[in-house]
Each structure stands twice: as C-alpha cells, then as structure tokens.
Chain A
Amino acid sequence: MSLLDRELAGVVMTPDNIRTKKLSLVANLGVAVAAFVIAAAVVLGFGIGNWVLIVVLGWVFYLVGLLYAAGRVEGRRAARNRAWKSLIYSACILAILPLASVVWTLVSKGVGRLDGDFFGTSMNNIGARDQNGGAYHAIIGTLEQVGIAALIAVPLGVLGAIYLVEYGRGKFAGTVRFFVDVMTGIPSIVAGLFVLSFWVLIVSPWFNDGNPRFSGFAASLALSVLMLPTIVRSTEEMLRLVPGPLREGAYALGVPQWKTILKIVVPTALPGIVTGVMLAIARAAGETAPVLLVAGGAAAINFDPFNGNQSSLALFVYQQAGDASKYAPARAWTAALTLVAIVLVLTIAAKMLARRNSLTR
C-alpha cells in the first residue's frame, strides 16, 4: 500500500497539528473545589458519614471531573494520560498513608516513656501499680539474640547463595534452591517449635545435667532459621545481577574463580546484599513467637544468652500490651519505638558501610 492509499484509507498517523490545548490551572482548581463541595453536600445532606467520606468521595469526584474536563479541552489521549497519572499518584499516596500513620502513632505514643528509667531498668519487681520499670533487659535480649542469629545466618546465607549462583549446577543445586524457597514461607512459630523440640528439649539437656533449659541462644537459632532463606534468596538475586563479562574479565587475567568471586563479584553486588541482610535482620528483630517459645521471656536482666530465660523487645511489647496495669501500654509503645529506632539505625549504618567501600562518581 502506498502512502497515498493509506492516506485515503485514513490510517496515516501523522497529526495535522502538533500543538495542543492545556487545561488551565484555574479550571483544574475549579474542578477540585466543585468536587469537594458536591461531596460535602452529598455526605452532609444525606447524613451518611463524616469528613473521611467527604475526602474519599471528593477525591473520586475530582478524578472523574478532571478526566471529563481534560477530555473536553485536551482531547482523548491527553485525558487518558492524565487519568493514569492521577491514579498512580493516588496509589502512591494511599501506600504512604498507613506508613506515615504508623510512624506518627509510634512517635506520639512512644515519646511518653522515653526517659532514662526506661532504658536503665528492667521489669524486675515492678508491680501493676508501679509506673516506672523499663526495657533494659529486653533491649539486651534483642541485641544479643539478633546479633548471634546474624552471625550464624549471614555467613551461611551469603555462602549458600554464592554456591547456588557460581558453582551450583544440576540436581543438587535445584533441590537446595527449592527448599530455600519453601523455607521462605515458614511461619515463625514453626521455626520456634523446631528449635524447642530439637535444641531446648534434646540438645540443651546435654549441657545442663539433663535438664532442658531456655536460653537466648535458642531464640537466636530460631531467628537464624527464619533469616537464612531471606538472605539466600536476596543475595542470590543480587549476585545474578553482576554481569557475566565482569567475571570473564577477571578470568582472562588468570584470576582463579574463588578470588574472582571474593574480589570482583561480591564487592559489585555488596550494596544489594547488605539491603537483603538488613531486611532479614529487621524481620528477625520483630519476631515474638520464637522468643516466647524457646527463650521463655524474663522480667530481669540476663546478659548471658546461653544460660537462662531472656526477653526481647518484640516479646516485651507483646507482654506489656496485654498487661492489666494501666502503666503497661505506655511501656509497650516506647519499646515498639525503640525497636523501630534500633532497626533504622542498623540499616543506616550498614548502608553507609557498604557505600564507603564502593567508589562514588
């Protein structure tokens, strides 16, 4: 078909005019005002809701009105573009809202007990009528348990991922990958039960004159079981992103494979690996069930993770939130705020550490 034929058939895409009319800001604002006024009138007129419904309804009216107005002024294509754009912005705001709400709630409610007493004392000998008492023991527990869990899970997970990406071929690697996927979905209570039946009931009696014993270390084991698949999967993804020519470049210099992995591949993927590890640590720090099952929880300070009950911040929040004392909820909020702050500080520190090694443009 020649160009002339296509023009006659009306299938030529060439526009006659490359200029387009823009919907003016005044019209835009006008639509917005009208939408919210109508929404308010509907809601208040029928008496069916409060300001939340007005905002939601007004937003919907505004989107529809904007689409209509833009369609009249700017044409179909531009209007559709506007519609999608506003939908995406709306979705973004919707996604941020709960997050901002969580942060605000945590800060506003947690700030009440943010005092020296909270960070300096435990819950030992604190009764229902005592308004002081703190989470010192729980902070120690969280730091020790998560720290040990990370010491176990990070090397194992990163090395496992290196095996899967760089060496693993054939059936065995496929099996490992499958079970790592399965493990990703393990509920934390199952990990806790596993450690309870295996470590606390079978192994720990060997070290304690035949009596089973709760310990923070048992909690670390359960947490490392939870962290391991997350670390393996995220590290694997990151290592796969390292371009093959980079490895070949190192091989071509006569660098052995293990050194190529250690000095070229892992450093290139490091920022991503750190992000994955921090996600796993954050998840582990927030786990309550395994700690409750195998560390038992405690009101007093216990520095020794291998001996005796320990608490953790997540467990502390759970216990205080359910406590009958009227002073307990404030402690729970502050403990939750502390937990979030610890994870945040750790993440920022890890990111900065990873960035220091790589070059900046």
Chain B
Amino acid sequence: MAKRIEASNVSSYYGSFKAIDSISMTVEPKTITALIGPSGCGKSTFLRSINRMHEVLPNARIEGRLTIDEQNIYDPDVDVTAVRRLIGMVFQRPNPFPTMSIYENVVAGLKLNGVKKKSALDDAAEQSLKSANLWNEVKDRLNRPGAGLSGGQQQRLCIARTIAVEPQVVLMDEPCSALDPISTLAIEDLMFKLKDRFTIIIVTHNMQQAARVSDKTGFFSIDKTGDPGRLIEYDDTQKIFSNPTQKKTEDYITGRFG
C-alpha cells in the first residue's frame, strides 16, 4: 500500500533557471509531511517533481534521484502515467471537470483508465465520496454538475477523485488556500483519516495547519530572488515548531522572516 519516498540530491530546472537545489529527504509511508516556506522557494516545484507533473511545462528537467520504494521514477523505462497513477495530486484551486457530473468526476480516473463495470464504478464513487466526507452532501444530486458545488465541496470532490484511483501517495499543493476555515477544517480531518491508507505530502503557507496536521515538516527557503530554493531543515513537526536547529527556520516560524 502506502510507499516510502526518497529524494536524493534532486535539483530542478526550468530551461536554464535552477528552481531547487539538491533536495534530499525521506518520507515514510502513512505519514503526513508538510512543506513550508516563503513564496517562490521551490516547495511546489519539488512537490510536482515527485509525480513528474513538472514535465507538463516545456523545458522543465530534473537532476538527482527520486525513488518510490527503491524504484527510481526518473528511469528512462518508467511510464509517466503509471507514476501518476501511483502518486495522486490535489491542486491549489479546485479543478473539477466542467463537462462532467459529480459522479462522473469521481470515477473519471477509473473510467478513463478502462474500468467499465457499472457496479465497480458505483462502489468506488460511494466509497471515495464517503472517504472525502462529501457523500452526505451530494448523494442526492450525483448527476448534477461538479462545478456547481461550493469551493470547499469542489476541493473535497477533487480529493475524492484522486483517492478513487487508489494511489499510494497523495500530494497536496496548498489544498486549502482558496477555502474558508470550516472547509479547511473538513479537509484537515479528512487528511487524518486518509493517513491510515496513504502517504500524504502537503505544501502549505499556513503554519498552524502544518503544525496541526503533519508528522514531519520540511522548511524551504531561498537566499534571494533568482537563487534556487533549498531545504533548510527537515525534522519532526514538533521539533521544528518548538526547537528548530536552524536560525532561519526559527525566524520564519516566529514571523521574523523578511
């Protein structure tokens, strides 16, 4: 099920611009890892390199080694769609497919990957929506468009869509930054629930959120604009927020940064 992720000396480039510089970290299975740091410090870039989503942009490339249970996902014979099946992703802004109903949105991943059996799809839709704490709100209107839900519901719909394909790892790129506190709480609860089954890595600007939900926290930073982002400190969340070893980390989490 949930898998260990190991990054060693991962650097990422957009053309000639170096976005992150030799990041090394190990993420244990069935944990929540939070990545924090100022804007533009490479958190999202690192996150997107874990499921090779950065390749969507032209001229993006990567150096170093990124393994999921000892398999390097950047080996030349690796199928990128298989990697993304294994490592799902939730984006900053909810992005339900506008032409699809709630039901179709949830089973989109299965359907587009060839699952045809109606009972299996129905089952997966119900289970995923229940896991995403959305079932009770939408069970009577599964055929309504997904885009008609509220922002928080849309985001939970996207989470349901992501976990419906049973990935091993779920990446979340600031999943709550467009949501109100109540929806945020709903999604944080959801993350605790999902921790039993998935490895979760979340990028967030909200330090309380990082402190609340994560087991381990990584702090990213840049020296100045244009420099590549670095991983300054990576440790247990409790340690980072109570007694960080690095001065920079302490400055950031106490709000003295910049």
Which residues from chain A sit less than 8 Å from chain B, CB to CB?
169, 243-256, 259-260, 263-264, 267-268, 270, 357-361
Contacts and interface: CB of A to CB of B under 8 A. Distances in A.
A252 B97 contact: no
8 contacts: A169-B58, A245-B91, A249-B161, A250-B108, A251-B84, A252-B162, A253-B88, A254-B81
Contacts of B95: 243, 245-246, 248-249
Contacts of A260: 112
B56 A361 contact: no
A197 to B, nearest CB: 41
Residue from A245, A247, A253 having most chain B Cβ neighbours under 10 A? A253
B101 A359 contact: yes
B165 A361 contact: no
Interface of B: 51, 53, 56, 58, 81-86, 88-91, 93, 95-101, 108-109, 112-113, 144-145, 148, 158, 161-162, 165
B257 to A, nearest CB: 29
Given A248-B91, A250-B108, A252-B88, A357 B99 contact: yes
A243 B100 CA distance: 15
Contacts of A267: 99
A246 B82 CA distance: 19
Given A248-B53, A249-B91, A254 B109 contact: yes
A101 to B, nearest CB: 40
Contacts of B165: 253-254
A250 to B, nearest CB: 7
A270 B99 CA distance: 10
Residue from B53, B88, B99 having most chain A Cβ neighbours under 10 A? B99
A263 B91 CA distance: 20
A359 B97 contact: no
A327 B84 CA distance: 71
A358 B81 contact: no
Contact of B84 (A246, A254, A359): A254
Contacts of A253: 84-85, 88, 108-109, 112-113, 161-162, 165
Contacts of B88: 252-253
Contacts of B97: 246, 249-250, 264, 268
Contact of A259 (B51, B53, B112, B145): B112
Contact of A255 (B91, B99, B109, B148): B109
A248 B51 CA distance: 11
A252 to B, nearest CB: 4
A252 B112 CA distance: 12
A264 B89 CA distance: 17
A128 to B, nearest CB: 57
B76 to A, nearest CB: 18
A329 to B, nearest CB: 48
A359 B147 CA distance: 10
A148 B162 CA distance: 43
The 8 closest A-B CB pairs, nearest first, are A254-B85, A253-B109, A252-B89, A359-B145, A245-B95, A267-B99, A254-B84, A249-B95
Contacts of B53: 248, 251-252
Contact of B81 (A245, A256, A264, A270): A256
Contact of A254 (B56, B91, B96, B113): B113
Nearest to A262: B112
Contacts of B144: 359
A245 B35 CA distance: 21
Contacts of B51: 252
Nearest to A252: B89
Contacts of A250: 97, 108, 112
Nearest to B101: A359
Contacts of A252: 51, 53, 84, 88-91, 162
Given A253-B165, A361-B148, A245 B93 contact: yes
B1 to A, nearest CB: 17
Contacts of A243: 95
Nearest to A251: B84
Nearest to B87: A252
B219 to A, nearest CB: 25
Contact of B112 (A263, A268, A270): A263
A253 B112 CA distance: 9
